[in-house]
């Protein structure tokens, strides 16, 4: 089984609600200490060919890896093995088959519908999913995996819009707080404009990136690769 990048294994070891999923500062601190490199877009990091999207409201992390089907399956099996290596921490809670036990050339990967694998901890839920190449608009998505790490106390529908909280973060938050705020959906217009004119260039760049994404979505254009 191919080894996982250190950034991924460290992320799994530090997946808890009191550090990684505490708030924006906790996310950034743990991720950078785990060798994830921040990118321009709010909440986005990268490491060794893996991509990570994170949000501070509510704190959560989604990790993605894509490539050839065999490579994706091998990586997913390695992620599952790393989680299973801590049996006293995680409880397996999936109804479907544990496909992480299949060989990468097992025909069931193509014949069966793959469900999410879910592990629950005392304060965190970890979910793992794989998919083969799938149609997407005019093209296709490559084979990929999705590893999600969320707080156990986050409602299934997420946290509601809170304009006063957004304005408070804008006034009182750190650069990291505001960088994460720039990526939140459905912000009031005054907050968006303030973020686009933030004194810190990292926040301005993140807000500009979000504006560009919104404009392309409004025009019905696909997101850039």
Decide which of 102, 120, 151 is a domain's last residue. Answer: 151
Cβ pair 31, 23 in contact under 8 A: no
Q: Is 79 in the same domain as 42?
A: yes
Q: Give the predicted TM-score (pTM) of the model.
A: 0.92
* Spatial distance between the Cα atoms of 199 and 203, rounded to a whole number of angstroms: 8
Note the pLDDT tens digit of each residue in 162-184: 999 999 999 999 999 999 999 99
**What is the per-residue pLDDT for 213?**
78
User: Is 184 among the domain residues?
Assistant: yes
User: Is 157 among the domain residues?
Assistant: no
Which residue, 15, 31, 7, 10, is CA-closest to 122?
Answer: 15
Count of domains for the chain: 2
Decide which of 102, 129, 151 is a domain's last residue. Answer: 151
* Spatial distance between the Cα atoms of 185 and 25, rounded to a whole number of angstroms: 19
**What is the per-residue pLDDT for 221?**
46
Write out the DSSP string of 86-97: -TTT-EE--SS-
Domain interval for residue 83: 6-151
Residues of the chain with pLDDT under 70: 1-2, 112, 216-225
């Amino acid at each position: 089984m191919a080894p996982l990048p250190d950034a991924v294994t460290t992320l799994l070891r530090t997946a808890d609600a009191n550090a990684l999923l505490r708030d924006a500062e906790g996310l950034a601190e743990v991720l950078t200490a785990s060798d994830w490199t921040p990118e321009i877009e709010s909440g986005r990091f990268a490491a060794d060919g893996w991509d990570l999207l994170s949000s501070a409201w509510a704190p959560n992390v989604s990790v993605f890896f894509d490539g050839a089907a065999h490579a994706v399956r091998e990586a997913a099996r390695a992620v599952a093995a790393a989680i299973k290596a801590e049996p006293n921490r995680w409880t397996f809670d999936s109804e479907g088959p544990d496909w992480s036990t299949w060989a990468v050339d097992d025909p069931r990967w193509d014949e069966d519908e793959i469900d999410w694998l879910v592990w629950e901890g005392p304060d965190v839920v970890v979910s793992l999913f794989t998919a083969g190449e799938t149609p997407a608009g005019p093209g296709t998505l490559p084979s990929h995996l999705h590893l999600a790490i969320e707080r156990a106390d986050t409602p299934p529908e997420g946290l509601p819009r809170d304009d006063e909280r957004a304005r408070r973060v804008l006034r009182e938050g750190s650069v990291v707080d505001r960088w994460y705020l720039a990526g939140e959906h459905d912000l009031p217009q005054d907050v968006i404009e303030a973020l686009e004119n933030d004194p810190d260039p990292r926040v301005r760049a993140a807000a500009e990136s979000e504006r560009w994404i919104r404009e392309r979505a409004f025009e019905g254009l696909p997101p850039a690769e």
